Amino acid sequence: MKVNFKTLLLSAMVLGLAISSCERTDDTDDTTVIPVGENITVKGSMTANTVWNAKNKYILEGFVYVESGATLTIDPGTIIKGDKATKATLIIKPGGKIIAEGTASKPIVFTSNQAKGSRNYGDWGGLIILGKGKVNKTPATIEGENISTFGGDVEADNSGILKYVRLEFGGIAFETDKEINGLTLGGVGSGTVIDYVQVSMNGDDGFEWFGGNVNAKHLISYKNLDDDFDTDWGYAGKVQYGLIFRDPKVADQCSCSDSNGFESDNDASGSAATPQTSAMFANVSVIMGDGTPDAKFRSGYRIRRNSAISIYNSLVAGAFPRGGLELGDAATQKNFVDGKNDFRGLIFAGMGTKGLILGDAAKLNDAARKNQFALETSALGLPTGYNSLTGKPALLPISASILLNSGVTLPAGFEANTYVGAFSTTDWTAGWTNFDPQNADY
């Protein structure tokens, strides 16, 4: 860790002068002088336990590593900025830990180092957490950095805690068309806690899981560029309560890609490698913002390449060009027919008859599954402003909304509910989120 000692010395002198100037003979004056925090540059590797304090701001430069055996603890309310010129990225290696446990009133923020009003997609890399969980690829190196390996057979591996955390303006390209995700989880085990995390305006995917079986709750993917929830290489965790909100004019323009709410593969070739990608998602709302979507958008759920993920009690609302649920190849469709994955309590609205693509229509429309295709968004009972592109979107369904009672009984391991989408009567985004990070004072 690099610290500007000259700045520290100057601050100490200023503090001493300030304290002297506050001395009074009048006992009624109890003024306290609070020292100004430092801008601390961080680069290279952390090999010992390290604490980042909220009174300071931390500037990441280049690849910053938390090595095996070391723990990085970040206090609530701490601001961490990524340097654009050096493509700053924070990487937690297998055996290392990050304890970033903010609060609803004091979230931890990873953001751009650019000035207010000048921030943009791809201003820095992102946060990468690597563990020792099961992965169906060997050797597994993380995309973007392409050096660090991960994975193993420790299903309960613990990489730490990520709670009440925001990640903004990441996704810088390290190679052509190879960007870092907002939050990358590679082989992360079930001993890790991921809860209340918002990724905004990232230059690639919002969240991507490469194997592992870490569970997650209360995730927000806001106006990101490529896919929002991307699952690969045998990911097998459970994710509950997710808000995906898309800007209709912001989609991945790469010829090799398109933009989806979900994108899921077993691996790049669609092989039968094990463990198979079999994650389970519940209570996710995929919302297309107001306006006509860019042609590079594709589907709400693009499930392909022999993936076997399951989705329950979730909503897709908006005019995705291809449609809502796309089971994209014969192997993926066979997984559904064979009962390896499941889709129940799903509602698709605003895309006409394109709610279902390439699937077993009769089975998906079985009444017991309670799936609803080809609805109009006006039938959902969402409040005015649910798809507003400015400020915080309106999130809670109105009291008569069909979303509040159209779900199915969820499988074991999820919190029990029968509503569809991310919200019922409680706004779990309150306090810790930011839907206008461009204009935040950091």
**pLDDT 10s digits, 96-155:** 999 999 999 999 999 999 999 999 999 999 999 999 999 999 999 988 788 999 999 999
AA identity, residue 122? G
Whether 412 has a pLDDT exceeding 80, the answer reads yes
**pLDDT 10s digits, 370-403:** 999 999 999 999 999 999 999 999 999 999 999 9
Question: What pLDDT sits at residue 4?
Answer: 45
**pLDDT 10s digits, 174-208:** 876 678 999 999 999 999 999 999 999 999 999 99
- Per the DSSP assignment, residues forming a β-bridge with 162 are 100, 194
**pLDDT 10s digits, 299-322:** 999 999 999 999 999 999 999 999
- Global pTM reads 0.91
Average pLDDT over residues 54-69: 97
CA angle 123, 319, 424 (to 5 degrees): 80
Question: What pLDDT sits at residue 360?
Answer: 64
* Confidence class for position 359, pLDDT limits 50, 70, 90: low
